[in-house]
Amino acid sequence: MIETEKGPKAHIENSAPVVALAQTIWDKMRLNQIRSAFESSSLAYQFSMTLLDELYGESHSLKSVHGIDRAIKLCENRFADPVGIEEMAEAAGYSRYHFTRLFERSQGVSPGEYLMQLRIRKSAEMLRSSGRSVKEIAVQCGFSDPNYFCKAFRKRLGISPGAFRRSGMY
């Protein structure tokens, strides 16, 4: 169905929830954190539904109609800066409360969690591609406290930044 309607290559933005979900599932698989066939099936279903929502769902139109795309661009361009929900809401043109509801509906996570996931993704890229210290990478990805960075990284990926770099499994 998708290939017939969208062609063999459907365009999906890097910031789309389905991309973040695919990364999360990949990380869980890589770290052997999927404990049962039921959990595996649940993740596959979640991925399928998120993909279909991205390609056909109402949330896709919410991104541009409601300015969510402007908030996402702000995060992508200034992920290392102390960007807050108020600033994101202002970029989208809404009050903090209304923006948060729209953002969660369109992205599947809160604005704060989206920014955190973006920072963790960027830091993982830097750990792979540079020889910079973990402390330098933490600061360059918007974390003022390297210890908090390590805690957030481990919470989301199940491995410390140093172990991630040493593992070569990326």
Reduce the DSSP state of residue 37 to 3 states and report it: helix
pLDDT for 80-89, tens place per residue?
Answer: 999 999 999 9
The verdict on residue 93 lying in a domain is no
pLDDT for 10-21, tens place per residue?
Answer: 778 888 888 989
**Domain hosting residue 130, numbered range:** 116-165
Contact between 86 and 96 under an 8 Å Cβ cutoff? The reply is yes
DSSP string, 59-124: HHHHHHHTTHHHHHHHHHHSTTS---HHHHHHHHTS-HHHHHHHHHHHHSS-HHHHHHHHHHHHHH
Q: Number of structural domains, the chain?
A: 1
Residue 145: which CATH number?
A: 1.10.10.60
Please give the pLDDT value at position 17: 87
The verdict on residue 152 lying in a domain is yes
* Alpha carbons 66 and 70: distance in angstroms, whole number: 9
Low-confidence ranges of the chain (pLDDT < 50): 59, 65
The verdict on residue 131 lying in a domain is yes
Q: What is the DSSP letter of 38?
A: H
The verdict on residue 161 lying in a domain is yes
